[in-house]
Each structure stands twice: as structure tokens, then as C-alpha cells.
């Protein structure tokens, strides 16, 4: 029995393990109200060719996850025997033609009735956005997440041109399109695809302006500050951060204030300004204490503005400054507060923690920490970049030690592409 090489190639390209693809398909099924029953065994049957044509709902979910027709994933439709007689086919054609003629005759002359787009359509898109955000929190900057976000943004914009809607609904649809595009932007940043991220930023910022949604504008400009920080364009990073922090919602809601200051601290750390780091982290902590934890906020904010995120940004700032002891303390606090599903963030924190321990001369402990990062998550572009720097620093600190040799061997055999 031949295996499904097309699906295998798509999974490798997107960075999915069997279990992770099962989770992604189940998440899409739950969006439309079905129980997610796909397991890693189901995926294994797809890969081996044992199951060559999944259930209709699973096919639809797979198309959404990979943003392509099901046949491009190596699945082969079953041939169905036709039982209809030629006479039945003729009668069916006559019936369809007569029905169409009847509908045309009763329609208003000159145009077809326009469907009405309402807040139910917006709510449906917002449910999909929540599922997309949850996938991003777990897996990070995969091309599949970026592609799915772009497709969902187009779905929101398509509704603008295929129906009548109130001004309120049109603004909400632009907000949905901006939200999806901002997720595509972050997936590209997270995957270190900076040119694509810049393109998504240009699109997202214009959509957000048409939506008049200052919360999504904050997310987009805050992402832009991270993009420019990763590109070492610190003046642009500060300017984008200032735009985000000057928005009305960032002055009104202490939770937005807190996140804005914490992300600004990471920029100061990258610039080597220790005094500004301390000030920004102090402002972030004070604002967080003032924030109403029970207030309803956008779904994307719930995952990026909690104690673990503030500790993680403080870790990033002090790590950049070379304050390795403080960085280690923030890393341990962040790890203790991270929710179980945040695999990408947990691995990023562990990678920085290992490097901070190495910076203090704790070579054995540092290597042990780095080896705790799951192999599949270690291939994440940002985690991989930190571990590459860690490897270089380890070679300088203990070039011929047994622990350095152990790490090199571990890298060679455990972190190879599947």
C-alpha cells in the first residue's frame, strides 16, 4: 500500500507532527460545531494510505488547515457507481431548468436580490478568529497559520462585496479582516519571515483604520514594534511602540497600558538602556495591578497580557542587557505561570533560560535546560535562533568539555529535520 507523500510533505513544510495536525483539524471541526475525534492514529492512517478519502467534515477541516484543495494533499476521491437511468437524468435537467426559469420570472427586473450581512456573520468570523489565536498560541509562526489567517481575512472582505450591511456591520467586518491579517503578520514575525510580515502590516493597518477599532490597531502597531526590534531597526521599533501606546484604548485600559510598557522595555533592553528598562517594567507592573482582571477584552489579549507574559518580556529585556541573574529569575517565574498549551512560549523561555545560566558559568545546568526543549518545538525559527546563539556561546565557554560534546551530539541526532 502506497503512502501519502503529498500530505507528508505538507506536514513537514508546516512543521506539524501527527498529534499536532490532529489537534489543528479538531480545532477547525469545533469551530463549526462538531466534536473533534481525529487522533494521531487517524493521521497515521492518512499518511500510510490506509485511509485514502477522509470523512467529508475532516476533508473540509484539512482544506482549512492547509489552505488548499483536499486533492492537493494526496487524497483520492472514491468512485461512486451511477444508478440513475438516462431518463431520470433528462427529467432532472428539465426540472432544474423549469425551477430556474420560475425563480427568474418572480425576481425584480434588472437585478438579483442582495443577501443581508449581519452581526451573525461577524460573530461566526470572531469564533474562527478565537480558534486561530489558540492555534497560534500553541504552535507559533507556521506558514499554515499565516496562510489560514490570510484566507480568513479574504472571507471577511468578501462579505463586504456580496451583500447589504449597516455601517456598524461593515466596520466590524473590516475589524475582522484586520484581526486575521494581524495574525498573519505575527505568524510571519514569529517565523522570521520579515518581508512577508511587513506586507501584512501594511494591509492590516489600513484595514484597522477603516474599522475604527482601536484595540486591533494597538495589536497591529505593537506587532510592528516587535517586527522592527527583531530586524534591529530600533528607531522604528520605538516609533511603532509609541503609536500603539498613544491610542485611546492604551490610555484608558490599564491592561493595554501594562502590555505597552512591557514591550517597550524589551526595546530598551535591545538598545542597552538599563535605566529605561527598569522604568518601563515598573510602569508595566503598576498598570497591571490597576487593571480589572474581570473586564471583557479581545480574545488575543487574554493570551499575551498576564503575569507570565510580563515576566517573559522582563526576561527578554534583562537577557539583552546581559543581566543573566535577573534574566534567570524572570525565566523561572514565567515558566511557573505559563499555561499548559503555550508550547512555543515555554520553549522560548527555556532557550533564554539556558543561555542565561550559561552566562553565569553554569554549563552543566544550562545544557540540561536546553535538552528539556521538545525536539519538534526546537525547530521553531525563534527557538532555533536562540539555541544557535547558545551553541556558539557554549563552544566559546567550554570548547572541549564533555558536556559541550554531549550537546553537539544531541544537536546532531535529536534536532535533525524529520
Task: Report the distance separating Cα 198 and Cα 227, nearest Å.
Answer: 8
For residue 303, the model assigns a pLDDT of 66
Give how many domains the chain has, as a whole number.
4
Please name every residue paired with 164 in a beta bridge, in sequence order, or none if there are none.
116
Report yes or no on 15 lying in a domain. yes
Give me the residues of the chain with pLDDT under 50, please: 81-82, 84-112, 417-418
Q: Is the dihedral of CA 296, 300, 305, 306 positive or negative?
A: positive
* 364 and 418 co-located in one domain: yes
* 367 and 311 co-located in one domain: no
Task: Report the distance separating Cα 183 and Cα 199, nearest Å.
Answer: 13
Question: Last residue of a domain, which of 316, 341, 366?
Answer: 341
* 240 and 306 co-located in one domain: yes
Instruction: Please check whether residue 117 is in contact with residue 173, taking contact to mean a CB–CB distance below 8 angstroms.
Output: yes
* 12 and 58 co-located in one domain: yes
Contacts of 400 (CB under 8 A, 6+ apart): none
* 199 and 296 co-located in one domain: no
Instruction: Please check whether residue 38 is in contact with residue 22, taking contact to mean a CB–CB distance below 8 angstroms.
Output: yes
Question: Last residue of a domain, which of 197, 212, 227?
Answer: 212
Report yes or no on 137 lying in a domain. yes
Report yes or no on 277 lying in a domain. yes
**How many Cα atoms are found within 13 Å in the side-chain-facing hemisphere of 52?**
8
For residue 12, the model assigns a pLDDT of 77
Q: pTM (2 decimals)? A: 0.71
For residue 160, the model assigns a pLDDT of 82
Burial class (CB in 10 A: 0-12, 13-18, 19+), 96: exposed
| Nearest alpha-carbon partner for 347 in 379, 320, 395, 305 | 379
* 322 and 366 co-located in one domain: no
* 337 and 354 co-located in one domain: no
Question: Last residue of a domain, which of 341, 369, 390?
Answer: 341
Write the CATH number for 12.
Answer: 1.10.260
Report yes or no on 311 lying in a domain. yes
For residue 15, the model assigns a pLDDT of 62
DSSP assignment letter at 253:
-
* 60 and 41 co-located in one domain: yes
DSSP, collapsed to helix, strand or coil, labels residue 320 as helix
Report yes or no on 87 lying in a domain. no
For residue 390, the model assigns a pLDDT of 95
For residue 14, the model assigns a pLDDT of 65
* 183 and 243 co-located in one domain: no
* 240 and 324 co-located in one domain: yes
Report yes or no on 79 lying in a domain. no
For residue 310, the model assigns a pLDDT of 94
Report yes or no on 58 lying in a domain. yes
pLDDT in tens, 369-389: 999 998 877 878 888 899 999
* 282 and 193 co-located in one domain: no
pLDDT in tens, 318-358: 999 999 999 999 999 999 998 877 888 899 999 999 999 99
For residue 416, the model assigns a pLDDT of 55
Report yes or no on 163 lying in a domain. yes
pLDDT in tens, 135-164: 777 666 678 888 889 999 999 999 887 777
Q: Domain range for residue 58?
A: 5-73
Amino acid at each position: 500500500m502506497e503512502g501519502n507523500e503529498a500530505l507528508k510533505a505538507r506536514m513537514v513544510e508546516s512543521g506539524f507532527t501527527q498529534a499536532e495536525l490532529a489537534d489543528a483539524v479538531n480545532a477547525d471541526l469545533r469551530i463549526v460545531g462538531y466534536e473533534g475525534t481525529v487522533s494521531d492514529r487517524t493521521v497515521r492512517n492518512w499518511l500510510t494510505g490506509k485511509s485514502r478519502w477522509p470523512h467529508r467534515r475532516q476533508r473540509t477541516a484539512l482544506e482549512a488547515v492547509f489552505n488548499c484543495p483536499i486533492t492537493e494533499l494526496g487524497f483520492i476521491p472514491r468512485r461512486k457507481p451511477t444508478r440513475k437511468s438516462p431518463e431520470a437524468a433528462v427529467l432532472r435537467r428539465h426540472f432544474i431548468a423549469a425551477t430556474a426559469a420560475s425563480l427568474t420570472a418572480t425576481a425584480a427586473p434588472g437585478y438579483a436580490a442582495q443577501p443581508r450581512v449581519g452581526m451573525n456573520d461577524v460573530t461566526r468570523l470572531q469564533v474562527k478568529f478565537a480558534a486561530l489565536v489558540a492555534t497560534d498560541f500553541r504552535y507559533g509562526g507556521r506558514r499554515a497559520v499565516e496562510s489560514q489567517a490570510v484566507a480568513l481575512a479574504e472571507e471577511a472582505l468578501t462579505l463586504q462585496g456580496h451583500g447589504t450591511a449597516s455601517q456598524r456591520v461593515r466596520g466590524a467586518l473590516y475589524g475582522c479582516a484586520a484581526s486575521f491579517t494581524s495574525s498573519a503578520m505575527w505568524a510571519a514575525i514569529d517565523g522570521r519571515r520579515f518581508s512577508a510580515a511587513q506586507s501584512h502590516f501594511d494591509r492590516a493597518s489600513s484595514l484597522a483604520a477603516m474599522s475604527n477599532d482601536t484595540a486591533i490597531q494597538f495589536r497591529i502597531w505593537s506587532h510592528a514594534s516587535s517586527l522592527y526590534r527583531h530586524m534591529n531597526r530600533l528607531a522604528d521599533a520605538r516609533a511603532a511602540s509609541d503609536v500603539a501606546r498613544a491610542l485611546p484604548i492604551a490610555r484608558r485600559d490599564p491592561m493595554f497600558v501594562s502590555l505597552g510598557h512591557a514591550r517597550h522595555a524589551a526595546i530598551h533592553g535591545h538598545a542597552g538602556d538599563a535605566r529605561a528598562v527598569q522604568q518601563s517594567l515598573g510602569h508595566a507592573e503598576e498598570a497591571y495591578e490597576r487593571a480589572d482582571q474581570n473586564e471583557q477584552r479581545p480574545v488575543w489579549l487574554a493570551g499575551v497580557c498576564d503575569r507570565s507574559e510580563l515576566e517573559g518580556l522582563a526576561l527578554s529585556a534583562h537577557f539583552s542587557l546581559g543581566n543573566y541573574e535577573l534574566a534567570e529569575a524572570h525565566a523561572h517565574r514565567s515558566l511557573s505561570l505559563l499555561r499548559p498549551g503555550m508550547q512555543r512560549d515555554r520553549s522560548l523561555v527555556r532557550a533564554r533560560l539556558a543561555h542565561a545560566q550559561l552566562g553565569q558559568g553554569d554549563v552543566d545546568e544550562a545544557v540540561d535546560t536546553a535538552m528539556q526543549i521538545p525536539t519538534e518545538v526546537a525547530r521553531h525559527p525563534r527557538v532555533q535562533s536562540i539555541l544557535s546563539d547558545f551553541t556558539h556561546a557554549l563552544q566559546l565557554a567550554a570548547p572541549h568539555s564533555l558536556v559541550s560534546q554531549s550537546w553537539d551530539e544531541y544537536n546532531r541526532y535529536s534536532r535533525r529535520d524529520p
